[in-house]
Each structure stands twice: as C-alpha cells, then as structure tokens.
C-alpha cells in the first residue's frame, strides 16, 4: 500500500474486526478505532456495519475500496511512466562481442536487456577481437566481451566473466597408439598430454587478424613445433569441422563446443600451460552507474555463470 490510511482500512476489511486488524498492524485497538471514526468523519459516510460481532462493508465502503484500487493502479502507472522517462534519457549503449561468443550469448543478452530496458537504444556489434578493441579505445563501444591480449594497453576496467581454456583438439586418426582414449573423453573431460608428441602435424589455425592466431603461434613457438602445413580459417565452426573430418589438429576454446553436436571423431587434450588460459572478460572505460549499464553487466554475468555451470555439469 502506498498510503498508511489505505493500509489500515484494507486490513480492517480483510480481518472484519478492529481488534484483529489492530493486532496485525501492531497498533492498539483504541488507536485503530479512532482512525476509523476520523476517516468516516472526513468522508461523511459510514464505511462498516457490525453484524454478528463482525464488520461488513456498507455500499459506501464498497465504493471506497474501488477508489483505493484506482489510486493504487494510478500510482503504479506513474512509477512506470517515470521509469520510461529515465530509460529514454539514458545514453544509447553498444556491446562488442566476437562472432563465436555471440553465437552463445548475443540473442539472450539482447532479449533480456530489451525486456528490462525497452526504451534504451541497444546495439550488439560482432567482429574480431582486435577490431572490437580498437572500437572500444575510440569510444565507439561501451562494453566489450573479449580477452586480455586485445587490450594490453589503455586505461580499461575489466570484470572476469567465464573461466575457459584452449584445448588441443585432434581427429581420432591422429591419436598416437601409445595414448589410451577413455570413453568419457570430451571438451569437459580432456586428456592431459605433452603437446610435443604432435610435432610435424598439419595445424588448422585462425586468420592473422584474430587473437586466436596469435595465441596458437605462441604455442607453436614455445614448443618448437614444426607443422607439416598450416590451414587458416576465420570461422570457429569451420575449424572444428575440418578437424572432425581428419584434416589436421587445432586449438579451440572449450566453450566453442557448447553448441557443437557432431564431435564423434574428435579427441580433446588439456595442455598445462598459461598460454591456454582463455578467460572471458567484460571491458569498459568507466564504472557502470546508470540502471541500464548496471543491468547489462548483471545480465552478462548471469548468462556467463549459467554457461560455466552447464560446462561443469
């Protein structure tokens, strides 16, 4: 109830007794009786009649209830109108996200944000991490879901979103005979291995303008791998399918397999190396303060938590 007077009256209506209503409201019975006498005096009508020790509404009392309901409805409408005005005054917001991350999150983020803040102009920009980082630096994005390499320079704030890592993924026909593949091998249950045993293999990598290309090259250099050849593809799903068809090996973030159905020919390996850390972060230049900005941050954190929970279970 937005009004103490309404709350007292409606409690008397519900309890049909001054004493019971007073007890529920934690006030004395004489105080509530005085309130009712004063209210009826102000309105100039009798609101209750006493029958069989219970109070019942008079026709005037019935009208007063409808009046209270109308006032409460108008109060809620006013609050909604003010909220809309606040949303309309909020700055438009842009979120940057890589296409494969977007395949997991973009639709859900857009749906939940526009449902909570329908009057805020909101746009999701999908592109490669290095391009998105440039847009954030030049104030063309407000938020960016990405990785540390993209923003090694600049005064940015960041919030960790999802703990992920790069897995070495190979087709079954590339598996050395010395390695036993357990039946439960998957992207959530990879085999620990030494990357060196896969020297001279064909490696499927990303394009040169992508962060994953840089990370795979760092792994190749660190372990002195000599690939028999390199196949470049900018598309994560294409790289997975190339491995699945036996065309080579690759490094893929575990989260990329959340929506991947055809993995029958894949074997997953875990490399114990900091270079395989692929944690997702949300980057931004200033701490979110407006309700829409705080709401967007909360939505993204919740969705990433759900992704992490799905992976662990």
Instruction: Say if residues 272 and 226 touch (Cβ distance below 8 Å).
Output: no
Domain residues of the chain, as ranges? 4-87, 90-163+279-312, 166-276
**Contacts (Cβ under 8 Å, ≥6 apart) of 306:** none
Residue 100 CA to residue 236 CA, distance in Å, equals 7
Pairing of strands 202-205, 229-232: parallel
**Contacts (Cβ under 8 Å, ≥6 apart) of 100:** 236, 237, 256
Give pLDDT, residue 1: 47
**Contacts (Cβ under 8 Å, ≥6 apart) of 179:** 191, 193, 197
Instruction: Say if residues 129 and 210 touch (Cβ distance below 8 Å).
Output: yes
Give pLDDT, residue 224: 92
Give pLDDT, residue 111: 94
Residue 86 CA to residue 13 CA, distance in Å, equals 37
Pairing of strands 266-270, 166-171: antiparallel
Instruction: Say if residues 40 and 47 touch (Cβ distance below 8 Å).
Output: yes
Q: What class has domain 4-87?
A: mainly alpha
Note down pLDDT in tens along the chain; length 313 residues: 457 888 999 999 999 999 999 999 999 999 999 999 999 999 999 999 987 778 999 999 999 999 998 998 888 878 776 766 665 556 788 999 988 888 889 999 999 999 888 888 899 999 888 888 889 988 899 999 988 766 655 678 888 998 899 999 999 988 888 888 888 888 988 999 888 888 899 999 998 888 889 899 999 999 999 999 999 998 888 999 999 999 999 999 998 888 766 788 899 999 988 999 999 999 998 888 888 889 999 999 999 888 875 555 5
Q: The tokens of 89 are what?
A: 């005054």
Give pLDDT, residue 85: 60
**Closest by CA position to 250, among listed 282, 283, 275, 216:** 216
Give pLDDT, residue 175: 84
The CATH number corresponding to 166-276 among 3.40.50.2020, 3.40.190.10, 3.20.20.100, 3.30.310.50 equals 3.40.190.10
Give pLDDT, residue 60: 93
**Closest by CA position to 193, among listed 211, 174, 212:** 174
For the domain 90-163+279-312, what is the CATH code?
A: 3.40.190.10
Residue 144 CA to residue 279 CA, distance in Å, equals 13
**Closest by CA position to 61, among listed 94, 100, 16:** 16
Give pLDDT, residue 220: 93
4 C-beta neighbours (distance < 10 Å), count: 10
What's the burial of 287, exposed, middle or buried (CB within 10 Å: 0-12/13-18/19+)?
Answer: exposed
20 C-beta neighbours (distance < 10 Å), count: 16
Q: What is the chain's alpha carbon radius of gyration, rounded to the nearest angstrom?
A: 31
- Domains 4-87 and 166-276 are alike in CATH topology: no
């Amino acid at each position: 109830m937005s009004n103490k007077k309404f709350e007292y009256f409606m409690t008397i209506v519900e309890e049909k007794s001054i004493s019971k209503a007073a007890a529920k409201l934690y006030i004395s019975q004489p105080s509530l009786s005085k309130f009712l006498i004063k209210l009826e005096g102000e309105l100039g009508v009798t609101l209750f009649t006493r029958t069989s020790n219970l109070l019942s509404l008079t026709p005037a009392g019935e009208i007063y209830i409808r009046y209270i309901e109308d006032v409460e409805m108008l109060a809620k409408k006013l609050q909604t109108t003010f909220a809309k005005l606040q949303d309309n005054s909020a700055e438009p917001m842009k979120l940057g996200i890589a296409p494969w991350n977007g395949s997991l999150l973009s639709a859900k983020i857009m749906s939940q944000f526009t449902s909570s803040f329908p009057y805020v102009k909101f746009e999701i920009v999908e592109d490669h991490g290095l391009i998105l980082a440039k847009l954030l630096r030049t104030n063309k994005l407000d938020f960016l879901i990405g990785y540390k390499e993209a923003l090694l320079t600049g005064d940015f704030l960041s919030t960790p979103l999802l703990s992920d890592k790069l897995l070495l993924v190979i087709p079954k026909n590339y598996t050395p005979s010395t390695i036993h593949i357990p039946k439960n091998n998957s992207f959530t249950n990879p085999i620990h291995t030494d990357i060196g045993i896969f020297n001279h293999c064909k490696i499927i990598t990303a394009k040169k303008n992508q962060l994953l290309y840089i990370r795979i090259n760092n792994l190749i250099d660190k372990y002195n791998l000599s690939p028999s050849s390199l196949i470049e593809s900018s598309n994560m799903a294409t790289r997975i399918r190339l491995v699945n068809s036996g065309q080579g090996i690759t490094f893929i973030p575990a989260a990329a397999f959340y929506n991947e159905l055809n993995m029958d020919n894949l074997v997953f390996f875990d490399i114990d190396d900091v270079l395989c850390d692929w944690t997702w972060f949300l980057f931004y230049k200033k701490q979110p303060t407006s309700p829409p900005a705080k709401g967007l941050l909360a939505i993204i954190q919740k969705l990433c938590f759900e992704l992490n929970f799905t992976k662990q279970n």
